[in-house]
Amino acid sequence: MKYQLLLPLLLGTASCSTKSEKVAKAASATSQQKAQVQQAEHFTNPPFRCFRYQGKFYPSFLSPATISVRINRQGIGRIHLTVYNRTDTLQPVVFADSAFLSEQQMRRFYGALDSAAVLTMTRVPQTGTDGITVINQIAQDKAHHTVNFWSPRKANYPREHRVVEAVLGVARHSFTTVQQQEYFERLEQYFDFGLPCRVTSTDPYEVRIYGYLSSNEEAALTRFVQAFPSDVPILVDMTNFEGMGTMFYPLFRSLLMRNHHVMWLPSVEAAKQLEEIGVAKSHLATSREEARKALQHW
């Protein structure tokens, strides 16, 4: 009986409504309309429940990958990574892995996608012959959206780039083997992640240079290398290095002139170019242990 009496009020059909009640109802209806518009642009509440994201990455000169995040009704999240072979159809999967996500990781990832209003994104057309295509599929409850974009740059497509940053950020923290990390390093070069170089340790002093160095990075690379100390041994890790133009040779030769205690841990391509620069073979290590041992004796 109680619910039957309340039903006319809930449906707004009671004849004894006062003027203030009608105003309140009108305000409530307006609020509901605003909420529906906002809901169309952003994810629904409760946060990150029954949420699915799948990103398919198709780089021009690198193995394609699928990264997916799934969060169930209980708030338990997992991330899945699959990297596919570009040429060997007999062994289509290079590697695959999955990991649980912490609540902090889920909140950060979910918030990044929501702040980018990913449900309202539209297609970014391809404007070049190479680069990378990303196919994004997002679903939560009854909201479903698929959007494709091609090689987004921060300046032109900041929302799309924020999605990439969120996806690769959570993937890098979840999958930490050498093979997985080296794949992410190469994949990030298709986007706007800056110079592919970083200082990994200051005691001992170690730096990592990876991927391919292009002419667009001349100024940033010059500042990076010139900041190397001249009075302490340095280990330069280039195990995931793919190449550079000869325009950078004078920069590395100047480093050799001011610091004679630089040990290099190169990839095959890096070793070839370092020898062209003038690095002595005795300063090319074949393992991290060998390189660090050399630093200790200097």
- Could you report the per-residue pLDDT of 226-285, keeping only the tens digit for each? 999 999 999 999 999 999 999 999 999 999 999 999 999 999 999 999 999 999 999 999
CATH 3.30.1560 residue spans of the chain: 51-188
CATH 3.30.750.24 residue spans of the chain: 197-297
Q: Which of 232, 238, 268 is nearest to 252 (CA)?
A: 238
The pLDDT, as a whole number, for residue 18 is 46
Count CB atoms within 10 A of the CB of residue 297.
Answer: 7
Distance CA 8, CA 286 (A): 81
> Strands 132-140 and 93-101, how do they pair?
unpaired
The sign of the CA dihedral 235, 280, 272, 191 is positive
Residue 44 contacts by C-beta under 8 Å, 6 or more apart in sequence? 140, 141, 143
Regions of the chain with pLDDT less than 50? 1-23, 29-30, 32-40, 45-46
The pLDDT, as a whole number, for residue 17 is 43
The pLDDT, as a whole number, for residue 88 is 72
The H or E element that residue 46 is part of is: none
Q: What's the distance, CA 36 to chain centroid?
A: 31
Topology of the domain covering 197-297: Transcription Regulator spoIIAA (3.30.750)
C-beta of residue 211 within 8 angstroms of C-beta of residue 185:
yes
The pLDDT, as a whole number, for residue 28 is 52
Q: What is the pTM of this model?
A: 0.82
Distance CA 267, CA 284 (A): 10
- Tell me which architecture the domain covering 51-188 has in CATH: 2-Layer Sandwich (3.30)
- Strands, E assignment, the chain: 51-59, 65-71, 77-84, 93-101, 132-140, 143-150, 197-202, 205-209, 211-213, 234-238, 241-244, 262-266
